Amino acid sequence: MNFLKSFFLIIVVICFGCKTEQKKQKSSDNNELAQAKTGSWGDQGDGTYINPILNADYPDSDIEQVGDTYYMITSKQHMSPGMPILKSKDMVNWTNVGHVFESLSWAPEYNWDRMNGYSFGVWAGDLAYHEGTWYCYQIDYQHGLMVSTAKDIAGPWSKPIMMLPKSEVLDDPAVIWDEETHKAFIIINTAGKQKSPENTIEGNENRIYEMSWDGTKILSKGKLVYTGMGAEAAKMYKIEGKWYIFLAQWTMGDNATLPGVKNPKNDRKQIVLRSKTNDIYGPYEVRTVLEKGTAFNNRSCSQGALIQAPDKSWWYMHQLIQNDDIPFQGRPQCLEPVTWVDGWPIIGVDEDNDGIGEPVKQYKKPIDGYPIEAPSTDDDFSKATLGAQWEWNHNPRNTHWSLTERTGWLRLKASKVLPNEKGYGPNINQWTNNDGSDSDFWRACNTLSQRIMGITTGTSVAKFDLSGMQPHQLAGFVRYGGAFNLLGVNVSEDGKKKLFFMDPMGVKTEGPEIAGNDLYVRTSNTSNQANYEYSLDGKTFKRFGPVFTIAFGKWTGDRLGFFSWNEKEDAGYIDVDWFTYDYDGPKAK
């Protein structure tokens, strides 16, 4: 009897171990990572880094240091949850914390039943920590200035408090508390919304307002401190008794500068305003402190945050602007050393000896001793909540996705695609791509995705279970930024499942019938050229569909993710077992 009990116990342990190991192996079958790795950017593992240190679509950064940790926020327009938060111990290696906005709750156009907020929503923000409270300020171009607060950086964050209407402000707020005068201030790009005929300077007006000490109310009408061409993205600092305002500004060779349009005659530079007295309202002197150099082709460099290391050295984190040929990863983050000369910062290195800094490509890390880390990518969906790397295209329909209905799988239920009518899906205007904007994909809710990393090479793989699919349902894998390209399965009226590829104009190329329930999809890119492959057993993959070009658009870099919609009714679902992503950059163990 004792022998039988022991034998039974051994069998149970073996079986349980096999299931546990099988789950662990799911997300590593196609991506074996025995240890942290380096690549063509980020931490090089030798005490240096290569820019961009965060080579993905993390635009409009702001950084706040608390203790020995640096916290970063970046914008993400209509994606939900909104305003990603990352953290780092050394300014080079960044990991996910979460998001400020659990959903874009302040306007109906961001909901799944409208999906009419493309490119709007969460723009450049300002992160601050004061007297035990976290603050995040941002301006929704269509709704106005708002602030959310939290006691813990990881949340929960309060619902947004509206502070100024859209009629008065455009974008990019930044705040500061002056302990010396016990006053709080916010600077905002008001563009031309309050411009008087007396101000004949071309460009955006930037105004400083006084705030309540608790940071939630505007106390003044604001005072104009600077006007400049495209001047925005201000950050305010008080250093050794002087006020400094960092601003991004265009220098222009002609007038063809619509948002997101490449124009080699125009250049985005970083300027600094330095006060002549200790008055925050000025007067100010102005200098250019960062311009594009030789490191990044024709890509302008500006808009970021000034930070300091424990050794008192100064550093500047900034984005690359989308004015080169193929910024298909979006707007990545670069880290520059800062030197001070006669009370003025030089960002990067002055490679042409004109007193203005240019970006560095490789440099010594600010802080040594911390391991290689990176934002999360791979997922086996074994947790009860989504990883912070994932974001929905607009607010999701929460009744139509689940991580608990089938443990260890992501379930995406298909909703009927929204009507192709005014008020639904993207508008055709300067913020969106004209071609393909009326395709069903842009009006299908619950598309879930994450950023691509880098611009050299990358390969991602996902495993799907098709057993829950229903007639008229389309589901599978999508790559999208300004244009989408997807590979999936379409179920016909009679229940047959067929592979298909869809291009940015919504044109389908039909493939073979899929008899079983397992489908593996692999997508790879070399530079901006990408393709899809599929497999029924996870071992042998076959190419399907054309080689296609991935592109920046709708102010968004390329993304990797999953879609599921139905052309006629709310019916069917697809289950995602795991997702892996390997790329030419740093990745944690």
pLDDT along the chain (589 residues), means of 10: 39 38 42 69 97 96 98 97 98 98 97 94 98 98 97 98 97 97 98 96 96 98 96 97 95 57 72 96 96 84 95 97 76 97 96 94 97 97 97 98 98 97 77 69 97 97 98 98 94 97 96 97 97 98 97 88 98 98 91
Separation of alpha carbons 460 and 561, rounded Å: 10
- The second-level CATH assignment, the architecture, of 59-254+261-364 is 5 Propeller (2.115)
Separation of alpha carbons 424 and 110, rounded Å: 10
Structure-block tokens of residue 505: 């104009």
Q: Are 359 and 334 in contact (CB under 8 A)?
A: yes
Residue 588 exposed, middle or buried by CB count within 10 Å (0-12, 13-18, 19+)? middle
Instruction: Please report, as a single letter, which amino acid is at residue 21.
Output: E
Structural element, H or E, at residue 340:
strand 333-341
- Its pTM stands at 0.92
For every residue of 371-434, DSSP letters joined together read: --------B---SSS--TT-EEESS--GGGEESTTTTTSEEEEPEEPPPSSTTSS---STTS-S
Separation of alpha carbons 471 and 477, rounded Å: 18
Classified as helix, coil or strand, 441 is helix
CA angle 582, 488, 543 (to 5 degrees): 60
Which regions of 403-553 does DSSP assign to beta strands (E)? Answer: 410-413, 415-416, 448-451, 457-465, 473-480, 484-491, 497-502, 508-513, 518-526, 529-535, 542-543, 548-549
Separation of alpha carbons 523 and 520, rounded Å: 10
pLDDT value at position 554?
78
Q: Domain coordinates of the chain in residue numbers?
A: 59-254+261-364, 391-583
Pick from 353, 420, 414, 411: which is nearest to 386 by CA?
411
Task: Kindly state the greatest CA–CA separation across the chain.
Answer: 99
Pick from 335, 332, 315, 314: which is nearest to 324 by CA?
332
Classified as helix, coil or strand, 266 is coil
pLDDT value at position 323?
60
* Equal fold, 59-254+261-364 vs 391-583: no
Whether the CA torsion 433, 437, 443, 448 is positive or negative: it is: negative
Q: How far apart are the first and last CA of the chain?
A: 46
Token look-up 């997702």 returns 579
pLDDT value at position 9?
37
Cβ of 537: how many Cβ atoms within 10 Å? 9
Pick from 423, 525, 442: which is nearest to 481 by CA?
442
Structure-block tokens of residue 418: 């929204």
Structure-block tokens of residue 180: 């010396």
Pick from 309, 303, 367: which is nearest to 338 by CA?
309
Look up the CATH number of domain 391-583: 2.60.120.200
Separation of alpha carbons 66 and 312, rounded Å: 15
Separation of alpha carbons 174 and 201, rounded Å: 23
Judging by DSSP bridges, how do beta strands 559-566 and 415-416 pair with one another? Answer: parallel
CA 453, chain centre distance (Å): 11
Structural element, H or E, at residue 10:
helix 2-26
Separation of alpha carbons 292 and 269, rounded Å: 7
